[in-house]
Amino acid sequence: MDIYIKPMKKASLTGADKITVKDVCEIAAATDVREKLESRKLMDIEADVKKNYLVSVMEIIKVIKKQYPDYTVNNVGETETLVDYKPQKSADNSYLKWSKIAFVTLVLFAGSATAIMSFHSDAQMPDIFKKFYEIIFGRKTDRPLIIDIPYSIGLAVGIIVFFNHFLGKKITEDPTPIEVEMSLYESDVADTVIDTLDVQKQRDQKGGGS
């Protein structure tokens, strides 16, 4: 008989005193087998301490083989799972949440405006628009609004399309550039923490064996 497991790369756990198989991986097997294995304990944790734990697929396999020694375990997921444990969920503070949103919005707006103005200043866009106006209409002007206004509108539309958001809603189902970058960042953080915990575990094992 075969048992298929799919460990996650990162799992979040709140308010528990142990890590079970179902906390870190999915199991594909007969219903009675899956239900028994999902509740099996992998390790104890400090319930009142926020901490990261590393669960190896070998630990999962050992627990399964102990329960079902004649079964073949097939791993179709990650080899190590990072468990981010928190003692309890933080209280929902709407005022704090909206304050953070307002602060981040203000910083992004100011930073974006500064970047755009700096680019326009470095590239001398006002002089370029004046030159375009003179070439197209045959006369000079200090306020080529017929070029400035469409450019400003196009700039705003381009930003909306690029970030794939308008009035808090996504324009398409594709992930936004920020979501992509956040996903890459979280993946890199998880990889770094896993490597750190793996090295620490190897040191502990060597220290315990010496």
The domain locations on the chain are 2-86, 94-189
Q: Which residues contact 82 (CB under 8 A, 6 or more apart)?
A: 9, 10, 11, 52, 53, 54, 190, 193, 194, 197
From CA 118, how far away is CA 140, in angstroms rounded?
Answer: 25
Span 2-86: which CATH code?
2.60.480.10
pLDDT score at 21? 93
Res 33 pLDDT > 70: yes
Mean pLDDT for 91-116 is 85
pLDDT, tens only, 62-86: 999 999 999 999 999 999 999 999 8
pLDDT, tens only, 35-60: 999 999 999 988 888 889 999 999 99
pLDDT, tens only, 1-20: 889 999 999 999 988 889 99
Mean pLDDT of the chain: 87
Indicate yes or no: pTM above 0.75. no
Q: What dihedral do alpha carbons 27, 31, 36, 42 form, nearest 10°?
A: 10
pLDDT score at 91? 63
